[in-house]
Amino acid sequence: MDAQGRGRAGDSNVDPADQWVFDPNTGNYELRLDHAGQAPAQPSDRKAPGTRRAARRPGGEGGDTDTRPLPTQRGRRDEDAAEDDERPAGGRAARRAGNRTAAAAAAAGQVGRRKRKPKASGKKKALYWTAGVLSFVLVAGCGAAYFVYQQLDGNISKVDVGVENDAVSNGPVNVLIIGTDARSGKGNAGYGDAGSVGHADTTILMHISKDRTNATALSIPRDMITNIPNCPTKQKDGSRKIIRGENQVRFNTSLGQEGRDPGCTWRTVEQMTGLKIDHFMMADFNAVKELSTAVDGVEVCAGKDLNDPKSHLKLKAGRHIVKGEQALAFVRTRHAIGFGSDLDRIKMQQQFLSSLIRKLKSSAFSSPGKLYDVSQAATKALTVDTGIGTAGKLLDFGNDLKKVDIDKITFATVPVLDNPKDPATVILNKTAADPLFAMVRADHALAKGKKGKGKKSAPVKKAPPEQVRVDVTNGGGPIGSAQETVDWLQNSKAAKLSTNAGNAPTKLAATRLEYAPNQADQAATLADWMGLPKSALKKSSQNAGARQPMKLVLGKDFKAPGSPIEAPTETPAGVQNVNADDKNVCAK
């Protein structure tokens, strides 16, 4: 058996699925080389293929030219496709013939052997995960038996980004998922920029919790202005080249521009979020086309008639099954929805990926043949870091993450604001983004709709900035924290009645805000600005005088004004988010 053919030795007319037998003792489909009860082939008998098939898709015209032209580079995927085109037609037949001979020999060697009783531990219900379009197959539960991973090993491309983390971690896992707009691959000539080497067109930072019970997927807008740090890249001759960073440029130029590789996007996201990335997975246009076809289409919903001449998407209002070119058009469209921005396109992508996860979870593995097709499509579209750069490592990685349920996966978009200097770009909304990043760093799951349990008290009315009166003292924060906080309150929040009261008489481990009952509205405003947890609020029993200030004591947990003291446990206000199990999301 190899990655090209699954026929039984000596019989080319056998349906591949007929060779797979379900073993109720293990919960696995197992390969039988004949129907006389012969033992299944073992992983060690299989060889990984050394070739990759090029995608077979018709060409297209036109395209979305959202990304500005960049210097042209020839990518490895283009070279791979060219090599595939030049192979002689008889190559595959020769490989199949050789594989059948090897399979027959293996079968002969097993005649008369006593069938082993399969081990239940470690293999029971072994639907191991593989990687897929933008790697969401990992949490969807896509999988295959171990020997299938061995066969798919040759499909996987990898990039050495100078960091090689173990495939399995004991803590939270952060996976950077990059979808590029590279034009490589058949049928993609009409997409993206003609001069593009592949930008970070779609970027999602996926955080899987330490206990593997939930996942948060943060979509990063490609047109967001950010700083890109210096980036070491590995050259073809094995040497390392430092590509100088840039300040105040589009996020999508963290890949491709000036020869930047996925490691540059990796470092940019780490710098932006404060999260340590463990692995990356990168895919191009073919990932959407091939995987959506492999699962027989993905259901999407249009809240109105959609007609986008740029992406070539035409859908009537209602639910539809899309695959191939139509699936790609759906995730690329933006001109027919919302305000026509990339932020609207992100919502389309989140809807598509959520539906894809549900499809993979519910029906993609109804037969071994379907499982094999999905695994082939997923691994052929994938480029990863060396830490998970083999099928075996991907198996370990996916098996570690398989506990996450669909209703525990939340998509969110990094909050941004319109850029006053350039209407075609956006800037990070730090007020909303900082607590969001802090929440993920603290391994807190994003809330879904309801804000906690139990009876809720009426919300406290917040005082306007000009009424917030507070004395700030430093009781354990960095030197100069009190004055820095007062400057921030007065200049950024217009709280002119804030005062630096010097150092506190005692050191505190935690920041504290003391206020009177009649100052509750002021305390609510200040706590919101400072990101104070409820435990930091101390209310006295008596009302304060008209000009009596509240007392804010900065403790050892204080880092900087505007940085939340404690990570929130619920999704911050203003952060767009949707649950992967929500079937009622429709594009409008």
- What pLDDT digit, counting tens, does each position of 533-586 carry? 888 999 999 999 999 999 999 999 898 898 878 788 888 888 999 999 999 999
DSSP state of 134: G
Name beta bridge partners: 174.
Answer: 207
- What pLDDT digit, counting tens, does each position of 465-478 carry? 999 999 999 999 99
Q: Do 541 and 514 contact (CB within 8 A), yes or no? A: no
Q: Provide DSSP, 475-522.
A: SSSSTTHHHHHHHHHHHHS--TEEEEEEE-SS--SS-EEEE-GGGHHH
Average pLDDT, the chain: 76
Q: What's the pLDDT score for residue 49?
A: 39
124-447 placed in CATH 3.50.50.60: no
Q: What is the rounded CA–CA span in Å between residue 454 and residue 521?
A: 23
94 has a pLDDT exceeding 90: no
CA-closest candidate to residue 447, choices 243, 278, 216:
216
- What residues contact 450, with CB distance under 8 A and at least 6 apart? none
Q: What is the rounded CA–CA span in Å between residue 214 and residue 405?
A: 7
289 has a pLDDT exceeding 70: yes
Least confident of 145-159, 219-233, 274-288, 386-400: 145-159
Share of the chain above pLDDT 70, in %: 69
Tell me, what amino acid is at 391? A
Read off the tokens for 458. Answer: 């009426």
In the CATH hierarchy, which fold is given to the domain comprising 465-554? Alpha-Beta Plaits (3.30.70)
Q: Do 255 and 264 contact (CB within 8 A), yes or no? A: yes
- What pLDDT digit, counting tens, does each position of 447-456 carry? 554 443 434 4
Q: What's the pLDDT score for residue 368?
A: 67
CA-closest candidate to residue 220, choices 343, 369, 323:
343
Q: Domains of the chain: which residue ranges?
A: 124-447, 465-554
Q: What's the pLDDT score for residue 496?
A: 96
- What pLDDT digit, counting tens, does each position of 436-450 carry? 998 999 899 985 544
Average pLDDT (218-230) is 96
Q: What's the pLDDT score for residue 364?
A: 53
Q: Do 459 and 527 contact (CB within 8 A), yes or no? A: no
Residue with more model confidence, 395 or 66: 395
